[in-house]
């Protein structure tokens, strides 16, 4: 399946450079470049894109609302930040992914592929863990590996990884040890269940 | 948005540098630069303290502009032993000052948590501390830096190459973020809220500092070592 991409970046030099890299990949098509987020939503509808790469600088501090609104209007859209300078983690957490200015071509290509494969990384509003996600979280907190979890729950490793991404997105916690603390605090597991 | 040009040069008044970006204050002790520099400029202050001015300015640039990447010519002028001393001093600063400071705050929170949550927070922090030590002390200082020092003297070792370098600071920062989320979002609200807000400031600052530290390793250290590796027969 081909991905349709829009790039929203004020610097023409950067935008053209990035478009060149992305257009070099068979499964991606850059259909538009914008130098400001004005009319972005209309443009997305008009060109039927499923991937937006945007410089967080262009939307400023109000980015969370702007992104939430955009996500609501275009549920199919994956939004990637183009970090042209340093932004803190919290700010970038509202995006489905981040591309940094000094990344190599091959790194950008592998990131683009990864971001478009994870279908379930949308709906940034929804923070409740689903039943399935809670089960995966408990298993992770108990120290199980992805393969073991997949076998036990009868799902593919790919699905386990996708659940784990969602858990991290929803809780804001990335490390296994952090997830264990989260599970304990929310009484999802008991201390005695932990493998020392 | 146009990038503001950093005002740093050898002729900049040293005091101006510090007002331009307050984070540069953290660099003083790592470079061994004392206070009381008056109206002297960067070159003079560096000379007085036997600090390599080019390296100092380059590190200041990375601190105040994360997109800064030094060019090959600039990198060619870097003195490897100065760079390593700087990195080691940063490590000491993290291990002996920043982390113990955070731990002190955390200890009070752990005590206030009581039996129910205290031990698990303690465990979370201890595990983290181990990981930080492993990366900084046992990996960078005992494997990577000695390798670079040997390379610098013209000795080639086959046991290690710089492209294996572990970019582990991201993990170290991730767990710091997790710690902050746990402290702010998930621990019951009535446990020492003031202390938890204070510790968050420290965590944000440390995480930012570690981010710059990895940029220095990625954009100065690694390219320098690569050219040393390539220069050897």
State the average pLDDT for chain A: 86
- The pLDDT value recorded for residue A116 is 79
State the average pLDDT for chain B: 90
- The pLDDT value recorded for residue A121 is 46
Residues B141-156 have a mean pLDDT of 90
Q: Using 50, 70 and 90 to split pLDDT, how confident is the model at B7?
A: low
Which range, A6-10, A114-118, B227-231, has the best average confidence (pLDDT)? A6-10
- The pLDDT value recorded for residue B95 is 94
- Measured CB to CB, residues of chain B less than 8 Å from chain A are 1, 3, 65-67, 69, 117, 119-121, 123-124, 127-128, 171, 173-175, 177-179, 181-182, 185-187, 204, 207-208, 211, 219
Q: Is the pLDDT of residue B210 over 60?
A: yes
Q: Which two tokens stand for residue B1?
A: 């948005």
C-alpha span between A185 and A161 (Å, rounded): 23
HSE (CB half, 13 Å, CA atoms) of A152?
13
C-alpha span between B220 and B57 (Å, rounded): 12
Q: Which of A54, A88, A89, A186 to mutate to test the interface with B (most CBs of B within 10 A)?
A: A89
Q: Using 50, 70 and 90 to split pLDDT, how confident is the model at A196?
A: low
Q: Which of A14, A91, A175 to mutate to test the interface with B (most CBs of B within 10 A)?
A: A175
Task: Give the DSSP H or E segment for A51.
Answer: strand A51-54
Cβ contact (<8 Å) for A85 and B121? no
Q: Is the pLDDT of residue B222 over 50?
A: yes
Q: How far is B120 from chain A (nearest CA, A)?
A: 7
Q: Using 50, 70 and 90 to split pLDDT, how confident is the model at A11?
A: very high
Q: Among all residues of chain A, which has the CA nearest to that of B69?
A: A102
- Full set of structural domains in chain A with CATH: 3-117 (3.40.50.2300), 131-193 (1.10.10.10)
- The pLDDT value recorded for residue B168 is 61
Residues A90-116 have a mean pLDDT of 85
pTM of the model: 0.67
Residues B166-177 have a mean pLDDT of 80
ipTM score assigned to the predicted complex: 0.81
Contacts of A40 (CB under 8 A, 6+ apart): A6, A8, A34, A52, A54, A70
* Dihedral angle sign, alpha carbons of residues B168, B129, B182, B217: negative
A81: which strand partners? Answer: A54, A98
Q: Locate the domains of chain B by residue range.
A: 14-68, 79-231
A7: which strand partners? Answer: A33, A53
Lowest mean pLDDT among A4-8, A129-133, B27-31, B167-171: B167-171
C-alpha span between A179 and B178 (Å, rounded): 8
Pairing of strands A3-8, A97-100: unpaired
Higher pLDDT, B66 or B85: B85
- The pLDDT value recorded for residue A68 is 83
Higher pLDDT, A181 or B170: A181
- The pLDDT value recorded for residue A84 is 86
- The pLDDT value recorded for residue B77 is 85
The closest alpha carbon to A55, from A40, A42, A76, A45, belongs to A40
Helix, strand, coil distribution of chain B in percent, nearest 5: 75, 0, 25
C-alpha span between B229 and B223 (Å, rounded): 10
Q: Using 50, 70 and 90 to split pLDDT, how confident is the model at B1?
A: very low
Residues of A in contact with B208 (CB under 8 A): 88
Higher pLDDT, A178 or B233: A178
Each residue's pLDDT tens digit, A147-191: 999 999 999 988 999 899 999 989 999 999 999 999 999 999 887
With 0-12 CB in 10 A as exposed, 13-18 as middle and 19+ as buried, what is B1? exposed
Which range, A42-51, A56-65, A114-123, B205-214, has the best average confidence (pLDDT)? B205-214
Q: Is the pLDDT of residue A124 over 60?
A: no
């Amino acid at each position: 399946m081909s991905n349709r991409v829009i790039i929203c970046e004020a610097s023409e030099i950067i935008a053209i450079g990035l478009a060149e890299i992305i257009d070099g990949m068979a499964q991606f098509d850059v259909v538009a470049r914008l130098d400001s987020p004005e009319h972005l939503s209309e443009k997305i509808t008009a060109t039927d894109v499923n991937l937006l790469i945007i410089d967080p600088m262009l939307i400023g501090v109000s980015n969370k609302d702007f992104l939430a609104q955009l996500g609501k209007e275009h549920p199919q859209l994956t939004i990637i930040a183009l970090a042209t300078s340093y932004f803190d983690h919290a700010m970038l957490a509202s995006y489905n992914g981040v591309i940094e200015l000094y990344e190599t071509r091959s790194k950008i290509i592998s990131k683009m592929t990864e971001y478009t494969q994870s279908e379930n990384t949308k709906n940034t509003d929804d923070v409740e863990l689903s039943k399935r996600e809670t089960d995966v979280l408990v298993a992770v907190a108990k120290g199980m590996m992805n393969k073991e979890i997949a076998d036990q729950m009868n799902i593919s490793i790919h699905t386990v990884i996708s659940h784990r991404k969602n858990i991290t997105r929803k809780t804001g916690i990335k490390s296994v040890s952090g997830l264990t603390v989260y599970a304990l605090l929310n009484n999802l597991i008991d201390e005695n269940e932990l493998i020392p | 948005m146009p990038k503001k040009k950093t005002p740093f040069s050898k002729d900049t008044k040293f005091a101006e540098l510090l007002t331009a970006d307050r984070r540069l204050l953290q660099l003083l002790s790592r470079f061994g630069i004392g206070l009381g520099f008056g109206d002297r400029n960067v070159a003079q202050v560096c000379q007085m303290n036997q600090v390599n001015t080019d390296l100092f300015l380059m590190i200041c640039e990375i601190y105040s502009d994360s997109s800064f990447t030094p060019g090959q010519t600039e990198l060619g002028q870097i003195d490897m032993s100065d760079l390593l001393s700087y990195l080691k001093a940063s490590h000491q600063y993290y291990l002996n000052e920043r982390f113990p400071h955070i731990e002190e705050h955390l200890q009070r929170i752990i005590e206030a948590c009581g039996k129910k949550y205290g031990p698990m927070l303690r465990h979370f922090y201890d595990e983290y501390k181990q990981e930080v030590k492993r990366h900084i002390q046992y990996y960078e200082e005992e494997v990577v830096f000695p390798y670079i020092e040997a390379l610098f003297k013209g000795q080639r070792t086959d046991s290690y190459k710089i492209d294996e370098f572990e970019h582990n600071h991201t993990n170290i920062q991730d767990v710091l973020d997790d710690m902050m989320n746990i402290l702010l979002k998930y621990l019951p609200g009535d446990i020492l809220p003031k202390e938890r807000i204070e510790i968050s400031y420290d965590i944000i600052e440390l995480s930012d500092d570690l981010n710059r530290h990895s940029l220095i390793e990625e954009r100065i250290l690694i390219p320098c070592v690569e050219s040393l590796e390539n220069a050897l027969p």
